[in-house]
């Protein structure tokens, strides 16, 4: 059987002016005009009958990402049931051009549900690495179990991506969920400080233009561990703020100065174009990443975009956080989410959620920990009430969503969250002040960062030196928080069955070590219908 390719994905937004200078995001060219696949291959957004395939071709040595250089090149692709490609089931061809930074995306259909496939590309007689992907279960399939890797917050300069390598080595995952901050926008030495930089960004300056964002994506894709996870599993990705600029909202960002960095809308357009060129993402709405995927009758996944439509953040402690006119989702997306959760007929409703929805109060934090925790969470050091970049800053939207879950009797909702470089296991309380006497509306698993700084990094002390006291104080003030790790870097593995959803948390030995080992640290689960978390004694094997 053969599937017809959709061809190279067209630019989703108007093409900005790429810089004429050659970018330095790649290793030196191979000295010939032969095409090269320097950035690996990837797949994403699996469906029961198909998957999105991605690659980037370097047609000539000077056609590096963001350069705008290089001729068009024909690219063939194949999908097979075996790694040797003796049983090819779909194939076709497309063209890579400078208009899309020589990236190609092919939406392959006609495949079988819940099936592992291998795929590859060829151009000019050169063959890409062979990668593995997997389709989703059939819409009405009685799936007995699902397993997903869960990651967020990968700052190139802060360390190596060993977390991706450990996920790539697993063969029991249906997909990897990336919950945002796949790239970071900062210039070299801005975050972390220059003396703590493990490896420098490219370009070295803060990224602002289309050429800049393309170059940064290109640098990330040279990482062997990042390539490895894309070669091993389909990825389901959403963006958060650093794909644009820190603490982004619909009209600007904390890390954007219009007078010196140009128009915010132009910067967003450039960032989004580069993102859709470089990521194996199938947008359901042009210019956004909110969309929905289904994995048989066991689970559906509602993916959110909490940057494109949100109101500007307000100061912590401000009564403005409760105003009805303020939104983190936008009216259309919130209605879409509510309708999707209510209409769901799966056992579990997973929500890919860029920033934490559980409320957090900081009043009980000891004075000596106030400043570093505030810095970690992006809050003023004097007098912390809430993190207004999270759902805490948009309480009307959160209340509407929680009331919807409770009022419609929607159970088994699990929020999967990144952003804050710490691992949390939370019940999402209907009323935090009276929990646990009052009920829980949902569950939230927050995964730590791949590399981005957390408490021990900010204080430059050994792990758990001061975090035990901080975590204890936060848990005492927030009884719905069951567990909190403020120091580890790593990833999560979510295991879902008809009976329970369990998150296994893994930490790296040293994010600065490219050969870092990984170890299990904690597991929490919720049983079907319970709406409460409990500790599990071991990871699911």
pLDDT digits (tens, 9 = 90+) for 462-517: 877 778 888 888 898 899 999 999 999 999 999 999 999 999 999 999 999 999 99
For 196-215, what is the mean pLDDT? 98
Q: Any residues with CB less than 8 A from the CB of 529 and at least 6 apart, and which? A: 411, 412
For 316-327, what is the mean pLDDT? 86
Please state, in angstroms and rounded to a whole number, the distance separating the CA atoms of residues 394 and 369: 26
Q: Which two tokens stand for residue 434?
A: 């009276």
pLDDT at 151 over 80: yes
Residue 464 is predicted with a pLDDT of 78
Indicate the helix (H) or strand (E) that contains 103: strand 103-108
pLDDT at 342 over 80: yes
* Higher pLDDT pick, 22 / 344: 344
Band of the pLDDT at 353, cuts 50, 70, 90? Answer: very high
In angstroms, how far is CA 53 from the centroid of its own chain? 18
Q: What is the DSSP letter of 136?
A: P
Band of the pLDDT at 282, cuts 50, 70, 90? Answer: confident
Q: Which two tokens stand for residue 403?
A: 């009331």
| Cβ atoms within 10 Å of 72's Cβ, excluding its own | 14
Cis bond before residue 192 (omega within 30° of 0):
yes
Q: DSSP readout, 25-64?
A: -SPPP-SSSS-B-TT-EEEEEEETTEEEEEEE-B-STT--
For 71-96, what is the mean pLDDT? 98
Please state, in angstroms and rounded to a whole number, the distance separating the CA atoms of residues 506 and 492: 6
For 265-276, what is the mean pLDDT? 97
Please state, in angstroms and rounded to a whole number, the distance separating the CA atoms of residues 85 and 80: 5
pLDDT at 275 over 50: yes
Please state, in angstroms and rounded to a whole number, the distance separating the CA atoms of residues 289 and 465: 39
Separation in Å, CA 515 to CA 160, 452, 463 = 9, 17, 19
Q: Which two tokens stand for residue 150?
A: 């869960």
Q: DSSP readout, 181-225?
A: -SS--PPTTBTTBGGG-SS--SSSSPP-SHHHHHHHHHHHTT-HH
Residue 368 is predicted with a pLDDT of 60
Q: Which two tokens stand for residue 525?
A: 């689960």
Q: pLDDT for 404-430, tens place per residue?
A: 999 999 999 999 999 999 999 999 999
For 161-187, what is the mean pLDDT? 98
Band of the pLDDT at 216, cuts 50, 70, 90? Answer: very high
Of 489, 488, 493, 518, the residue nearest 505 (C-alpha): 493
Please state, in angstroms and rounded to a whole number, the distance separating the CA atoms of residues 370 and 364: 9
Q: pLDDT for 29-47, tens place per residue?
A: 444 579 999 999 999 999 9
Band of the pLDDT at 461, cuts 50, 70, 90? Answer: confident
Residue 378 is predicted with a pLDDT of 55
Q: Which two tokens stand for residue 324?
A: 């009805």
**What structural domains and CATH numbers belong to the chain?**
1-135 (2.60.40.380), 136-536 (3.60.21.70)
Q: Are 513 and 528 in contact (CB under 8 A)?
A: no
Of 27, 227, 2, the residue nearest 131 (C-alpha): 227
Band of the pLDDT at 456, cuts 50, 70, 90? Answer: confident
Band of the pLDDT at 373, cuts 50, 70, 90? Answer: low
Q: Are 57 and 278 in contact (CB under 8 A)?
A: no
Q: Which two tokens stand for residue 192?
A: 């972390």
């Amino acid at each position: 059987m053969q599937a017809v390719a959709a061809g190279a994905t067209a630019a989703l937004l108007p093409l900005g002016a790429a810089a004429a200078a050659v970018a330095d995001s790649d290793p030196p060219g191979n000295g010939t005009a032969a095409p090269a696949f320097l950035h690996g291959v990837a797949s994403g957004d699996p469906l029961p009958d198909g998957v999105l395939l991605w690659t980037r071709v370097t047609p000539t040595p000077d056609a590096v990402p963001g350069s705008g250089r290089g001729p068009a090149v024909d690219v063939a692709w194949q999908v097979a049931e075996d790694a040797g490609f003796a049983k090819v089931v779909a194939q076709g061809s497309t063209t890579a051009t400078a208009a899309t930074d020589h990236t190609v995306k092919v939406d392959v259909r006609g495949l079988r549900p819940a099936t592992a496939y291998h795929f590859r590309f060829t151009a000019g007689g050169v063959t890409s690495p062979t990668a593995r992907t997997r389709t989703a279960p059939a819409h009405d399939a009685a799936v007995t179990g699902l397993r997903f890797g869960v990651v967020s917050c990968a700052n190139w300069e802060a360390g190596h991506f060993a977390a991706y390598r450990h996920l790539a080595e697993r063969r029991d995952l249906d997909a990897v969920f990336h919950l945002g901050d796949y790239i970071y926008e900062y210039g070299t030495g801005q975050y972390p400080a220059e003396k703590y930089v493990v490896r420098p960004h490219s370009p070295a300056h803060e990224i602002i233009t289309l050429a800049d964002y393309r170059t940064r994506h290109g640098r990330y894709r040279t990482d062997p561990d990042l390539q490895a996870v894309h070669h091993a599993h389909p990825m389901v990705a959403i963006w958060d703020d650093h794909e644009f600029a820190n603490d982004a909202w619909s009209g600007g960002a904390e890390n954007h100065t219009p007078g010196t960095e140009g128009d915010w809308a132009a910067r967003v357009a450039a960032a989004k174009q580069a993102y859709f060129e470089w990521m194996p993402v199938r947008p359901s709405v042009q210019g956004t990443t909110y969309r929905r995927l289904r994995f048989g009758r066991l689970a559906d996944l509602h993916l959110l975009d909490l940057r494109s439509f949100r109101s500007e953040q307000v100061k912590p402690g401000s009564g403005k956080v409760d105003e009805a006119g303020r939104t983190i989702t936008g009216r259309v997306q919130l209605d879409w989410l509510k309708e999707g959760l209510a209409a769901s007929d799966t056992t579990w409703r997973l929500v890919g959620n860029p920033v934490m929805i559980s409320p957090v109060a900081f009043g009980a934090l000891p004075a000596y920990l106030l400043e570093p925790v505030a810095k970690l969470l992006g809050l003023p050091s004097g007098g912390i009430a809430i993190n207004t970049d999270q759902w805490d800053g948009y309480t009307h939207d959160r209340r509407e969503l929680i009331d919807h879950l409770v009022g419609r009797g929607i159970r088994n909702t699990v929020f999967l969250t990144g952003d804050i470089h710490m691992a949390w296991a939370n019940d999402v309380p209907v009323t935090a002040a009276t929990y646990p006497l009052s009920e829980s509306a949902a569950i939230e698993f927050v995964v730590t960062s791949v590399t981005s700084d957390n408490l021990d990094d900010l204080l430059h002390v050994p792990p758990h030196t001061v975090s035990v006291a901080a975590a204890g104080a936060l848990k005492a003030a927030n009884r719905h928080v069951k567990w909190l790790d403020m120091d580890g870097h790593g990833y999560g593995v979510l295991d879902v069955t008809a009976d329970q959803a369990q998150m296994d948390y893994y930490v790296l030995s040293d994010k600065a070590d490219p050969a870092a080992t990984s170890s299990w640290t904690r597991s929490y689960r919720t049983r079907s219908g319970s709406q409460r978390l409990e500790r599990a004694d071991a990871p699911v094997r």
